Structure 1
Amino acid sequence: MTVPQTPYNLIVITGPTASGKTRLAAHLAHRINGEIISADSRQIYKKMDLGTGKDYDDYIINGEKIPYHLIDIREPGYKYNVYEYQTDFFKVFEEIKKRKKFPVMCGGTGLYIQAVLDQYKMVHVPPNPQLRQRLQDKSLEELTRILRGFKKLHNTTDTDTKKRAIRSIEIETYYQNHPEIEVKLPRVSPLIVGVEIDRDMRRHKITKRLKERLNEGMIDEVKQLIDEGISPEDLLYYGLEYKYVTLYVIGKTTYEDMFERLNIAIHQFAKRQMTWFRGMERKGHKIHWIDATNNIDENVSLIYNMIYNSPQ
């Protein structure tokens, strides 16, 4: 069987939360003999399943399990970062190509996606105990002001917690004091596909999915993580579901307040994702938007035609 020619060596399936991108990516991977590389900053953690939306069943197509990577690769409590993601991504990317399979990147963490597409030249930033000690007693507001002195804040998660803010200052200080190390990265020729979903439908799906995950045991998942020794502060670090459910579990809020605040936070997160993608487009990345309400086979065929420029 002759393999069609294509100018692309990476397919990126992205979009806001609850747009159905994982299922679409799995169906596409099944069609093009591909393997999926996750671009989700929280699905890398083991035992954090419901809160991060790991829908393992989405990877089974016609009884066949589609291989996926960079999911369940770190223990909960670990502070994974963009540098590690970029390193892990390109390692898996090269391995998939050696197997003569097609890499399909799937996820909604825009920073991870851009770190790959723009080939950020990054260096490993070691801990700076002296700097951390000097910053430890400062308030979150003071830390945010210091960080603003280094850069324009594009990602509000930099200052979600004192730990995040101090780490961000640590990284920026290192970059300021050290010349960048040249890093040679594999060439990527991506086709970027965005799954577009109507705002009202997205809001409906987010709320429905949140209710389902709470009913499926998301609160018990958080309790189990705490029972296993993960501190509430570490869980708060992961934001969204883990932040608000942890606040409920440790008695800082009511169930009703937790649900309402979390629901709003996820809607706001989806809006920020779309803002990030629009920013990527302004920076020159062509995103081919497809309708989430289309039949999945129709969307797979649309993407297949984009890849191979074929009427098939």
Structure 2
Amino acid sequence: MLRFVVREVLSGIVLTIFVTAVTYATVFSDGPGIARRVLGQSATQDQVRAKVTELGLDQPVALQYGKWLGGLLHGDLGASWFTGEPVTNMLANRVPVTLAIILPTLLLTMALSAVVGVAAALRGGRLDRFLQVTGAAGAAIPNFVVAIVLVSSFAVSLKLFPATGYVSPDADPVGWAHSLVLPILAGLIGSVAGTAQQFRGAVIDVLDKDFVRTLRSRGIPERAVIYRHVLRNAAGPGMATLSLQTVALMGGVIIIERVFALPGMGLLTNDSALQGDIPAVMGSVLFSIVIVLVVNITIDLLVGWLNPKARLS
């Protein structure tokens, strides 16, 4: 297990360096263009050249990335070019908001998808057909449409939850929970439908295996066959889909936070990209990479624990 963990962590570090290096080379390749966005279109050529030198954009991109990576190792991601606020402070203020949406959504997706997928595979009938329809609808309907429908139904019409805004858990824990219900639901609806379908298919495949028939022929209770053997062997494909849902959710959070006016990473990513605040963009990219890697490593470890053969693959 230790070798498995070390391998996963090392591959995550390599992937982080690769993705951030490619992103850095892409967004920092045009020094004069970046300087002009910071100064405004009315800036003179002399002002642009001075800003390029001030920001260090006249240096080779590889050297700039090396300095950024060195700062990362020391917990320094630079400062916003427009507000002067350290990027680490920007992340510290917004990461908790986004994590409060992503983590419950992923945990609920994993639990509900396993329950619904197993039930649909075992019982079939109307439940199975309903899962097929909702899975297709969940994949086709954009997050912002789901979010708008939830706001219209549960906030505007029924007035059960606030339509927009965020309440700090320190100020009002109950208000904080209420402000997150609809955003979590907006991300949960599509992710559960897709992941449950994968669990269903994986369970059906495992049920056709010879070892399942052998277990049943030995008189082992059906509940034990399903939960101790079938679900454990079917966990891999279902969890793999959950990894992909994490990537989709990271993109969906940008829309969800915009609809519900939540001051999280999605809003920061969108605004900094439109403004051209490159240090903030790099901080947002780093956050997204870390979340995806942590979730993927956690899922791989969970699958490896459920199915030891996965650790050898």
Confirm or deny a common fold (TM above 0.5).
no
> TM-score normalized by structure 2?
0.26
> TM-score normalized by structure 1?
0.26
Larger Rg: 2
Q: Which has the higher helix share?
A: 2
Q: Which has the higher strand share?
A: 1
Choose between structure 1 and 2 for higher RCO, CA contacts under 8 A separated by at least 6 residues: 1
